[in-house]
A and B are shown apart, each in its own frame.
Chain A
Amino acid sequence: MTTHDTRPGSTGGADTPGPLHGGPDDDYTPEQLATLPREELDRLGARYDGVEVLHVEPGPEPGSALEKRAVRQVGLMFGLAGLSAFAFVVVYAGAGWFLPDWQWELGSNTFSVLYTPLLGLLMALAFTFFGVGLVLYTKKLLPHETAVQDKHDGSHFDRVTTGATLVGGLHNSGLKRRKLITRSLAFMGGGLGLMLVAPLGGLIKDPNEGDPLGTTEWAEGVRLVRDDGTPIRPGDQEPGSLETVFPAVPEGNRLSDAATMLIRLRPSQLEQATPRSGQEDFGYGDYVAYSKICTHAGCPVSLYEQETSRILCPCHQSQFDVTQGAKPVFGPATRSLPQLPLAVDDEGFFVARSDYIEAVGPTYWNRERI
């Protein structure tokens, strides 16, 4: 070993600490520390951490009435916490064993109704009593001390020395001079970065393929059926009523954009009806059918108030007037609900004459173009 004695940080394998070892261990020998009482040691350590304990208000006198009362209080809290926790376990595990069954049945008014509230209450009591006991312990039994800790600004020495180490490393790497390495690194970095995000391309799909946003399952001759699949004849509905209908295709009542409202107008409504231009013949007699999917945010517009002829969307309160081609008359919606052209087939049931002639549901960037 040729390690020089003054070389910091190492003694070259010798079993004696190097000269940088030490610190407080050199200032305070074990013998000195052994003579100090525990409180002094606590303060000494704190001072090394920049903390000065300014003032200690001791806890209650041992054996005093004050202490006994506080101990009783804390003990009571911990005891109640334990009691609640055990009670929780008893209720949790005992239900269906020696207690009535916990599983709730419709209309049941017995233990099963209380099961979840009881569990919650007991768990809450256990946690809260424990927490309150701890706070009481800290407040009433522990000494109250006021300590001050110093806050240090950054050290100039640290900055300069760290900077020197970093700059030294960069300098030694020679990256500033070795342009080929930096350029190839940048090239490689770009490639690797792209490679790592490329698999996300699997998420990308073409939304314009087959125009799924602009078309629904409605088509010429598709029957209008109720949720239970039964077809509808003119005359089935009272004037002024609304029924939600679906295309007669498999799972038609689960489609996200096909739900349609079949509305039979009252004679007075029919008189003032002003359909959208070009769609005057979309209705059938006093029947009109509009898409149920709101043109604002896609919620099903469901609330029909026949006195005012308005349909209200419960999500954002857009209102559509069924006598004016379901034109939005209030709220954030901008477009009329698309109208389904109606006809009646040979058997006398309602059918669609075609799909909706415009996109159903919320507006999007290129809706007008499709």
Chain B
Amino acid sequence: MARTATAPGAPKTLLGKAALEVDDRLIVAGPLRRTLNKVFPDHWSFLLGEIALYSFIILLLTGTYLTFFFQASMTEVAYDGSYAPLRGIDMSIAYASTLDISFDVRGGLLIRQMHHWAALLFMASIVCHMLRIFFTGAFRRPRETNWLIGVALLILGIFEGFAGYSMPDDLLSGTGLRIMSAIILSIPVIGTWAHWAVFGGDYVGELIVGRLYIAHVLIIPAIILGLIAVHLLILVKQKHTQFPGPGRTEHNVVGNRLFPTFAGKATGLLLVVFGVCAALGGLVQINPLWLWGPYNPAQVSSASQPDWYVMFLDGSTRLFPAWDIYLPGNYNIPALFWPTVVLPGIIFTLLLAYPMLERKLTGDTASHHLLQRPRDVPVRTSLGTMAISFYIVLLLSGANDVIADKFDISLNAMTWIGRIGLLIIPPIVYVLTYRICLGLQQHDREVLEHGIETGVIRRLPHGEFIEVHQPLGPVDEHGHGQLAYGGAPVPKKMNQVGGARRAIRGFFSPIEEPAAVELEQRGEDRGLAPAEPQRELTTSGRPAEGGRPSEGGRPSEGGRPQEPRD
């Protein structure tokens, strides 16, 4: 350090000197360089988790702003704010202050709606991120811990969201809270005791909004924040997974360094996520709670639905049959207990245990850093789509009254469709997915063996018509390709191996002559002009995205068609 200050090449600029001063004290040059040099693989599906992270940042910022104005008190006051239809009506301070945020705080409505939209986006991106992780096998050893943390974040997100939308104490949130109260009461043995602990007495009491508030702004976010930190630390430590492709192995990561490429793109994404939330918050109304009015236990509006991430539980509650279980001693287990406590318990336990279950059942205990294509793991993929179809039936059933109303279907029929659909759709989806996976696998092998269909029909001397196939690599004496399947996408169209000329430049109207481009390309093909520089490695490995597949595994030389074979 002292050496650098006097060494040849010591910094002469002010910034350089300042950096030296900092490093003299903190010795951060080494760790900083390692961070800047960290390589990130480049695939769109890796951005889903980032969207979750960025929407969480929006939630923290907008949420902190909202706490400046929201008062979590259930004390009754007469509203005297600027929303005329409710003036003079008795309501809790919580609801009145939420109305004030919407009507009397400059820009408050925008921030409140951004907060709500960002919450929906947060949960949606977590779910999409998990689906990506699930279907590509990214949860396998050594990443089980991060899977567990991810599921914990999902569950915490549901509770956080529920606490958040239950706080304003309007008619809709109060209805949700009433159902939550019933759910807690339905727990066998400890139900009433748990209810008294949570609500501080019989429903609704004076305490619950304050308790929801502290859970929503401190307890749950602090845990979420801590878990996100651990999630990211583990990710940095274990490094990213990547899809198989040229040059990619179990022992490396191919992509861009953090600085500046990845940092630029990630910051760009962060800003776009911010922009989307701002646009939704400003332009698309969400939860106009001044229309619902203050909570009143004797009132309810039709089509009372929770936010989307809780709706599957509303659906399961609607579908579950009226089965109370009576036990000796006049005890009973309410029907409500099964769809609202047991079912999510089973769902989330299975979700948590999945990596371990799969490890046990397949006996695959090896470390994996290369991802799998869903078609190559048909059982897991089919289980996944089966679970999704189960979930979607529940989700739609959570809105079955709205569907019945809008499509003029009997409400009872919707319930029965849901009940039957919940049992028969998932197995059908399993079988279909399994067949589709096998079909896709088979097609990959077929293309590798026989080549790409060119669409060119040739008539043989004896009159037979055949389609000319373009082999992807070297062939044996029978004309069969010798490439093995490598877990990466197989090009299936001539365009993907350079069969198409490049796109004509221009926005709306072309700025160059298609014919000239055609000619230029032919010239390039004959080696008249240098083609694009050779790339050994590609961002996505897909030739269509500019990747130049390497020799011996891929169509060589930019996929210029070799001698077509039959």
Contact = CB atoms under 8 A, between A and B. Distances in A.
B300 A302 contact: yes
Contact of A256 (B190, B202, B314, B317): B202
A364 B281 contact: no
Taking residues whose C-beta sits less than 8 angstroms from the other chain, chain B's interface range is 35 or more
A368 B331 contact: yes
Interface in A341-370: 361-369
B216 interface: no
Interface in A217-256: 227, 244, 246, 253-256
A316 B192 contact: no
A128 B252 contact: no
B103 interface: yes
Interface stretch (B33-41, B221-229, B520-528): B33-41
Contacts of A104: 82, 103
B253 A149 contact: yes
A146 B332 contact: no
A292 B519 CA distance: 80
A46 to B, nearest CB: 5
Interface string A35-74: 0000000000110110101110100000000000000000
Interface string B233-271: 000000100000001001111111100110011011111
A132 B178 CA distance: 45
B435 to A, nearest CB: 36
Contacts of B272: 127-128, 131-132
B536 A138 contact: no
B96 to A, nearest CB: 16
Contacts of B377: none
B324 A334 contact: yes
B469 interface: no
B332 A365 contact: yes
Interface in B492-549: 533, 535-539
Interface string A102-140: 111110000000001111110111111011111101100
A30 B179 CA distance: 71
Contacts of B318: 316-317, 331-332
A107 to B, nearest CB: 9
Nearest to B269: A131
B537 A55 contact: yes
Contacts of A363: 185-186, 324, 332, 334-336
B13 interface: no
A368 B113 CA distance: 45
B67 interface: no
Interface in B151-204: 175, 178-179, 181-183, 185-193, 195-198, 200-204
A302 to B, nearest CB: 6
Nearest to B34: A49
Taking residues whose C-beta sits less than 8 angstroms from the other chain, chain A's interface range is 35 or more
A25 interface: yes
A128 B275 contact: yes
B8 A30 contact: yes
Interface in B1-42: 3-4, 7-9, 33-34, 37-39
A328 B298 CA distance: 19
B92 to A, nearest CB: 11
Contact of B85 (A106, A120, A150, A204): A106
Given A121-B282, A316-B318, A363-B186, A330 B415 contact: yes
B149 interface: no
B39 A364 contact: no
Given A330-B412, A330-B415, A244 B298 contact: yes
B39 A30 contact: no
Contacts of A284: none
Contacts of B251: 150-152
Contacts of A138: 260-261, 264-265, 268
A33 B271 contact: no
A207 B297 contact: no
A332 B321 contact: yes
A11 B231 CA distance: 40
Contacts of A126: 275
Given A117-B282, A302-B299, A366-B330, A95 B106 contact: yes
A149 B34 CA distance: 11
A147 B179 contact: no
Given A134-B268, A213-B202, A300-B300, A142 B260 contact: yes
Contacts of B253: 148-149, 151
A202 B189 CA distance: 20
Interface in A286-310: 292-293, 296-300, 302-303
A135 B270 CA distance: 11
B358 interface: no
Contacts of A332: 317-322, 335-336, 339
A366 B39 CA distance: 60
A46 B35 CA distance: 10
A206 interface: yes
A127 B182 contact: no
A45 B270 contact: no
B301 A314 contact: yes
A145 B336 contact: no
Contacts of B83: 106
Interface string B355-371: 00000000000010100
Given A138-B261, A362-B334, A127 B278 contact: yes
Interface in B404-418: 411-412, 415
Contacts of A204: 193, 196-197
A33 B9 CA distance: 8
A266 interface: no
A361 B181 CA distance: 11
A175 interface: no
B449 interface: no
A367 B337 CA distance: 14
26 contacts: A30-B9, A31-B7, A33-B9, A49-B38, A51-B39, A54-B537, A103-B103, A121-B279, A131-B271, A138-B260, A146-B535, A146-B539, A205-B200, A293-B297, A297-B317, A298-B182, A312-B411, A315-B300, A330-B412, A332-B339, A361-B182, A365-B189, A365-B332, A366-B331, A369-B329, A369-B330
Interface of B: 3-4, 7-9, 33-34, 37-39, 82-85, 103-104, 106-107, 109-110, 113-114, 175, 178-179, 181-183, 185-193, 195-198, 200-204, 239, 247, 250-257, 260-261, 264-265, 267-272, 274-276, 278-283, 296-304, 314, 317-324, 326, 329-336, 339, 367, 369, 400-401, 411-412, 415, 533, 535-539
